[in-house]
Each structure stands twice: as C-alpha cells, then as structure tokens.
Structure 1
Amino acid sequence: MNEPAVTAAALVELHDTLLSQATWPQTEPSPALAPDNVWHWISANHRFNSLLWAEEDLARRTRVSDSDIATNKRAIDGFNQARNDATERVDELLLIELGLVDATSARTDAPVSMAPATARLNSETAGAMMDRLSIMALKVHAMRAQCLRTDVDAEHIASSRIKLDRLLTQRTDLAACLDALLRDCRTGQAYFKVYRQFKMYNDARFNPALVAEQRCAS
C-alpha cells in the first residue's frame, strides 16, 4: 500500500506556517488544492479553528453590547459546524486512500468499512487527532506570543514559558500517536471509521428551540 499523503510532521509545519501569515485566517485554502485533496480540508479545518479561536476571545468581552456578543456566539456556531464538517471530510479522504472504506459510501451517513477482520478499531479518528493538533498549534502560537510580551512582569513571562514547553510536549506526543495510527492502518493492524457528529443545534429541523419558534410563527 502506498504511503499516505499525511504525516504529523507535515501537518504541524502547515499549521505553524499558516498561523505565521499576516492574512491568516481570512485567507481561504490554496485554490491549487482540489476539493478531493485531503490537504484542502486539513487547511480548511485549521482555518475554521483559527476563526473560532478569535471569536471565542471576542465573546468574552465585557464592555460591548449584548447584540455584539450574540453576533460572536452565532459566528462560533457556524465556525464550529464548518470545523467538524472539514474533519469528517479529512477522515473520508484518508480512509479512501488507505482502502479502509467503501468509496461510494464514504460520504453517506453509513460508510461501509473495508478494514481487515483482525484490525483493531481505534476509538479516535485520524481527522479528530488532526483537529486536536490544529487546536494545539493555536495554543502554542498564543502562548509563544505571551512569552514575547513587553508589558508584563518577569513572572508572567516565566510562567508562559513553562506552559509553552508543556504544550510543545503535548503536541509532540499527539503527533507521534497520529503517525502510529496511520502506520498501523497501512499495515492492516488498525482502522478508524467516519463518525458523523450530527450537530443538531444548527439545524432547524432538530433543535427543539428552533422547532418551537417555527411552530409559534406558523
């Protein structure tokens, strides 16, 4: 079986590179990446996590109007949905590439696994691990910025450096686990599935509060 398109080292490098760009996260994933390229969706996931991070900061403001916070909360819902959708797309494309899912069913609500009967099922998907690595990159980026501040005392800087070291260790550990999972998937020892999040709070057909609003309006 061919090597997969994704390694943890390449993933971490992409996350950090994108965060270093002045126009990020407003920039869309590279137009050179087709929608069936897993890196398109990895980049999209990281972008939505970055937008979500910024909105979460804004939602904690205390000197703005309630309507401003409501706008932030609605944006958070949208970015969170998009982040999860991108994660699921990553899993679909990886599993197709690894030959571990029936390609015709991969995008349905019931993907058909093609994993060997002897392979162990991993409880966390590779896409979910990549999503966590995206968030880890944001934490590292933010904590590194704290270490560079000039408006705080030495204790703040020292504490931030300790936290940064721990975050880097956590990211290294998670990256190694991702590589191990993908390696085991390639050799038939492990597999994961496409799991649908079924985020109901954004869907007017399922969210009880939105259903009640529709009933009142009719």
Structure 2
Amino acid sequence: MTISSICNKIFNETTEHYHEFDDVDAIPQNPYKEGSIEYLLFKKNWIDAVQWHLEDIIRDPEIRPEEALKIKRRIDRSNQDRTDLVELIDDFFLEKYKDITVAPDATINTESPAWAIDRLSILALKIYHMQQEVERTDATAEHLQKCRMKLSVLLQQREDLSLAIDQLIADIEMGKKYMKTYKQMKMYNDPSLNPVLYKQKK
C-alpha cells in the first residue's frame, strides 16, 4: 500500500470511530502498535476530530463566556498536541530515509511529508461532514446541491493530495528530494516567549 492509502484508510476509520461516540471527551482505544506510523496516524486524526467539534461548540451563540474560555484553552492545547504529532510523524520519515543517498541536484519540498499528511487528515473530516450535509432530510434542495458540489471538490482534492504525497515519498526514496524539518516554535504557548505571560512574572 502507498503511504497515502494507509493514511486515508486510517483517517476514514478513525473519523468513523469518533462519531460512534460523538463526544469530545471520549477516550479512544488506539488499535495499532505504539510507536508505529499507524499508531501516530490514528492519534493524529483523533486529535483533529475532537478539535473539529470543539470549534463547532465554541461557536454556539448561547455559550456562556466562562465555558467558551475553557474551550478556547482546550483548543490551544489541542493545537500544540497536533503540532507535536506532526513532528513525530516527520521524525518517522527522517529515520526511515536517513540512509538514502541524496542526488547532487536534489531539491527540497515546500512542506514536509507530515504536514501534507496533516492536510489529508483534515480533508477526511471535511469529507465526512460534507457527506452528512448531503444526506440531510431537513435542508433545502439548493443547500443539498451546493453541498454535493463541495463534496465533489473535496474528493478531487483528496485524490490530488494523495498523489502528491506519494510522489513526494517516491522522490525522497530515490534521493531526488530531501527532507528538512523545522520545529514550529509556537511562541504564544511558551511562557518565556509570550510577552503577556512573561511580563506577569515581573
């Protein structure tokens, strides 16, 4: 199986699994061996699924301000967890291809494999929820038609992104492209880098 096939399979299964609970506090049972790429992919998509629904909840116009703040803090933590998972997935690829001989004319990609895979995970959620919209029985014909068109675009986007990921991995395997990763260094989460936080200590 190609890496994109593995990703899409796990992302689809994980998204479906989340919706068996449809609960942002549900605790999943990751079916894959800890440390494997499959384990990381499952964990990645679960984080994305939970955050997707937290983003829905926080937009409730009737939400109490204190509850909204609590969810905003949770989304911030989730974003950091998501970034950490992406970097772990990139570490997997760096280790896997560390002995590849890089061609003298090899080029670097605009994004690493894991950040492209991150977009594939989000696409799985977009496709799932757009499919739910297409199947609604309480929506207008105009709404359903617009959603069918959007779903078609999302499916094409997943096909194109999957192909691009597989081509990138193939190029890395052949030494035609090489990987470099940069830690995201999210400054607002770091008490020593966010001035709002470190000024409070003075």
Q: Normalized against structure 2, the TM-score is what?
A: 0.91
Aligned length: 198
Identity of aligned residues (%): 30
Is 1:177 the counterpart of 2:164? The answer is yes
Give 2:184's aligned amino acid: Q
- Identify the match of residue 150 of structure 2 among 158, 163, 166: 163
Is 1:153 the counterpart of 2:140? The answer is yes
Q: Following the alignment from structure 2 to structure 1, what is the Cα–Cα distance between the partners of residues 48 and 122?
A: 7
Q: Partner of 1:53 in structure 2? A: 52
Is 1:198 the counterpart of 2:185? The answer is yes
Shift of 1:211: 0.8
* Conserved? CA contact 1:115–1:191, under 8 Å: yes
Q: 1:149 to 1:190 in 2, by over 3 A?
A: same
Q: Which runs of 5+ in 1 are unaligned?
A: 102-113
Q: Partner of 1:86 in structure 2? A: 85
Is the deviation greater in 160-169 or in 46-55?
A: 46-55
Shift of 1:39: 1.9
Pairs within 5 Å for 1:81-160: 81-99=80-98, 115-160=102-147
Q: Following the alignment from structure 2 to structure 1, what is the Cα–Cα distance between the partners of residues 187 and 99?
A: 28
Shift of 1:94: 0.9
Q: 1:173 to 1:79 in 2, by over 3 A?
A: same
- Identify the match of residue 197 of structure 2 among 210, 213, 217: 210
* Conserved? CA contact 1:98–1:186, under 8 Å: yes
> What secondary structure does 2:60 align onto?
coil
Shift of 1:27: 3.8
Give 1:72's aligned amino acid: I
Shift of 1:68: 1.0
Q: Deviations over 1:173-197 (max 9, x none)?
A: 0110000000001111012212200
> What secondary structure does 1:211 align onto?
helix
Q: Following the alignment from structure 1 to structure 2, what is the Cα–Cα distance between the partners of residues 11 and 142?
A: 18
Is the deviation greater in 114-123 or in 21-30?
A: 21-30
Q: Following the alignment from structure 1 to structure 2, what is the Cα–Cα distance between the partners of residues 31 and 64?
A: 35
Q: Following the alignment from structure 2 to structure 1, what is the Cα–Cα distance between the partners of residues 29 and 125?
A: 17
The alignment's C-alpha RMSD in Å is 1.9
Q: Following the alignment from structure 2 to structure 1, what is the Cα–Cα distance between the partners of residues 43 and 174?
A: 29
Q: Following the alignment from structure 2 to structure 1, what is the Cα–Cα distance between the partners of residues 94 and 120?
A: 19
Q: Normalized against structure 1, the TM-score is what?
A: 0.84
Give 1:204's aligned amino acid: P
